[in-house]
Amino acid sequence: MLLPQSLPQSAPDVSAQLSPRRRTSLLTTGVVDRSRVLDTLVDNLDGMAYRCRHDARWTMIFVSQGCRALTGYTPGELVGNACISWEQLTHADDRARVRACIDAALRAGQRFAVQYRIATRAGQAKWVVERGMGVADEQGEAVIEGFIEDVSERQATLEALEHAELRYRHIFEHASEGIFQTTPAGRYLAANPALARLYGYATPQALIADLAELDRRLYVSPGRRGEFRRLMETQGEVLNFESEVYRRDGSRLWISENAHIVRGPQGEILCYEGTVQDISERRHYQAQLERQANHDLLTGLPNRSLLKDRIEQGIARAARLGHCLALVFIDLDNFKFINDSLGHAAGDELLVEIAARLGACLRDSDTVARLGGDEFVLLLNDHRGVSTVISVLERVLHAIGRPLRLAGRDFQVGASLGVALYPDDCADAQSLLRHADVAMYAAKARGRNNFQFFTRELNCVAEERLNLEAAMRIALERDAFDVHYQPKVDHRRRIVGVEALARWRDAVLGAVAPDRFIPIAEETGLILALTTAILRRAFVAARRWNRGRAMPLRIAVNLSPRLFLGDGLVAHVAGLLDEAGLAPELVELEITESVFAGDGEAAVAILRGFKALGVSLAMDDFGTGYSSLSYLRRFPLDIIKIDRSLVTGLEHEEEVAMIARAVISLGQSLRKTVVAEGVETPAQFDFLRGQGCDEFQGYLLSRPLPEAALTRLLAAGDVITGGRA
């Protein structure tokens, strides 16, 4: 350790007390024996007072009795260098430095203070501090007077502290785990190289300069730093605080932190201090163990244990939201044949493929699990009724039934599906599994490759729906859907347009109402084919009716909101217009506000595409949705159709009449064409006409008519004078 060249000179100047001149003056004043007092004081000081010459050997002229404790020599042995000189007592390595310090102080006429080592009579090395100054003695000769004290204990303490600091610095710099100090607010005060490397920084300085706002920049989970700080404030420390954090390059790792509060002398918080360990490997291993405990090793799907937990969570959610939950038990048909004939490897390949197909049929909120063998279970959450569950089941059967290639050969398997519902069938996970299993065996008994519900009533509903869907597919293939047309008239009862309405009469089922077959078409994806069939017929008829007409006859067709979920709708309608040779200006497309319930911006883009095409856009069933008014402002609509619920009874109920009046006024203010539907009485027609309604539609004027009947009506004249049946 290097010693300072000189020490601070703020300590008391003992040499001044020992000046012979001052000592003589003390002896001559007062009655007290000042000489004795001064001798006693000097001899009892913890150190050695001295006077010496400024020569090569620091020849001592006077030393106090303290020299014995300091050096082991008596005053007689030191004075006049009788036994040993002070130069000899001074450590050889320190002599030049000590002399240079004293010489410089004497030349400047200043006091000096210097720390160095001496060797005692017993050979012990001691650290001393010498303070003094040059003075003139009684004869005017220049001498040095001063005081030398033992500071070995203090020096040992300083060296111990320095060594401790060096050891701590070594540990801090070379520790394998990260070490940090931060402010409570989350700003780094110190970090070691291990922490910098852990977080992806070249140096601790780079980490401290870049990484601030720990809750946002470091922790993956928002609020994690807040939880760290809450624990520190309430407990004064955190132990094994595990978090996922970002590295500088955006990658992630898991860490465990141990930290405590560092407080100042007054109890104030100075900083948080702690260590950080990378536990990513352990977390990964734990995740693997948890996955093995909760997932099927072959397919990676949840196993029976995890499925039970998912079912319980699903039941709780369904109870809270008032939704329906479906549990589907699946048993593959013909699996045993494939497994026995081709071997277990092919059987495993089949199971993995079926697992992937099942997953593709479901939403992220649903669950596919494998119980073992060829048994799978589906957990379908957040359904509002049986109809949407049936749609999923049909997709599942179709996906399972697709051919697959095993061992160089094409195979096709089916499945028997049993369905149990919460809350209709039971209220706990075990019962749902048991009931779904019972329903699955019922499906096997009915010939396999089908699904059965646990309750007879729901099975009837499912069977009816399946029959309707099958019949619809056949009808679409044969172009067996009809189109009826309901006239719309102006205030003079002149026909200005017609609305095309789908109708279906099946040879077996008879007449099927639109409110039965349209929802099925929407749920099964048949709505595009059905809409295309209606548009194609309606466009051809409209072109024929408009040939040679003085007043154009517009054709209105309702578009299902489901059509807005796909791509290319505008181009598809444009293609049908070109195919029919019909001008877009003669077409009105009617939509309901549910079009905007999903991706409103995408819907607006489609509507703008229709506007660019040249067709008119109508809001159907206006007044039945809470946000219709905002749609009038935001979306490019030309027409609003007052829902029949705001027309029925308006001649008798003042509140209904007031609402109808307000809607018409609103439409006029927004420069929209206002159409009233469901007009059934002359009083309703007269009231609406009196309020300025533009067009009218309803049984008072005409029921929906087949194409031939409407053709005859148009040939007879454009004015409808009374109701048409």
Rounded Cα–Cα distance for residues 136 and 143 (Å)? 6
Fold equal for 14-154 and 175-284: yes
* Three-state DSSP class for residue 636: coil
Q: What is the pLDDT of residue 368?
A: 95
* Three-state DSSP class for residue 50: strand
Q: What is the pLDDT of residue 372?
A: 87
Given a cut of 70, the residues of the chain with pLDDT beneath it are 1-35, 37, 164, 171, 458-462, 565, 596-600, 623-631, 722-725
Tallying the residues shown for the chain, one arrives at 725
Choose among 361, 437, 444, 436: nearest CA to 397: 361
Residue with tokens 């408009």: 546
485, 454 in Cβ contact below 8 A?
Answer: no
Pairing between strand 414-422 and 450-453?
parallel
Pairing between strand 375-383 and 367-372?
antiparallel
* Three-state DSSP class for residue 41: helix
Rounded Cα–Cα distance for residues 197 and 680 (Å)? 81
**Residue pLDDT, tens place only, 515-536:** 999 988 987 889 999 999 999 9
**Residue pLDDT, tens place only, 662-689:** 989 988 988 999 999 999 999 999 999 9
Q: Where are the domains of the chain?
A: 14-154, 175-284, 297-454, 480-716
Query: Structure pTM?
Result: 0.49
Q: What is the pLDDT of residue 26?
A: 43
Spatial CB neighbours of 539, under 8 Å, sequence gap ≥ 6: 555, 576, 577, 579, 580, 582, 587
78, 84 in Cβ contact below 8 A?
Answer: yes
Rounded Cα–Cα distance for residues 448 and 725 (Å)? 49
Percent helix, strand, coil in the chain, to 5, is 45, 25, 30
**Residue pLDDT, tens place only, 208-245:** 999 877 878 899 998 899 999 999 999 999 999 999 99
Rounded Cα–Cα distance for residues 521 and 393 (Å)? 15
DSSP characters for 403-420?
-EEETTEEE--EEEEEEE
CATH number, domain 480-716, options 3.40.50.300, 3.30.450.40, 3.20.20.450, 3.40.140.10: 3.20.20.450
Q: What is the pLDDT of residue 723?
A: 53
Count helices and strands (H / E) in the chain: 27, 27
Q: What is the pLDDT of residue 3?
A: 33
Q: What is the pLDDT of residue 97?
A: 96
Type and span of the H or E element at 245: strand 237-246
Q: What is the pLDDT of residue 48?
A: 94
Residue with tokens 């009579």: 121
Mean pLDDT computed over every residue of the chain: 87
Rounded Cα–Cα distance for residues 96 and 391 (Å)? 101
Spatial CB neighbours of 134, under 8 Å, sequence gap ≥ 6: 54, 105, 106, 109, 142, 143, 144
CA distances 73 to 63, 65, 78, 492, Å, are 11, 10, 7, 138
Q: Burial level of 455, CB count in 10 A (0-12/13-18/19+)? A: middle
Tokens representing 112 are 């000096």
CATH class of 175-284: alpha beta
391, 401 in Cβ contact below 8 A?
Answer: no
Give the CATH fold of the 14-154 domain. Answer: Beta-Lactamase (3.30.450)
CA distances 525 to 551, 561, 570, 685, Å, are 38, 12, 18, 39
CB atoms within 10 A of CB 59: 17
Choose among 392, 395, 374: nearest CA to 332: 374
Rounded Cα–Cα distance for residues 545 and 478 (Å)? 25
89, 63 in Cβ contact below 8 A?
Answer: no
CB atoms within 10 A of CB 382: 15
Rounded Cα–Cα distance for residues 401 and 396 (Å)? 8
Choose among 554, 512, 517, 501: nearest CA to 706: 501
Q: What is the pLDDT of residue 73?
A: 96
DSSP symbol at 171: H
CA distances 620 to 167, 565, 591, 631, Å, are 82, 19, 6, 12
* Three-state DSSP class for residue 264: coil
Give the CATH fold of the 297-454 domain. Answer: Alpha-Beta Plaits (3.30.70)
CB atoms within 10 A of CB 647: 28
How far is it between the farthest Cα atoms of the chain? 154
Write the Ramachandran bin of 227: left for phi over 0, alpha for psi from -120 to 50, otherwise beta: alpha
| CA torsion, ordered 402, 324, 516, 615, to nearest 10 deg | -80
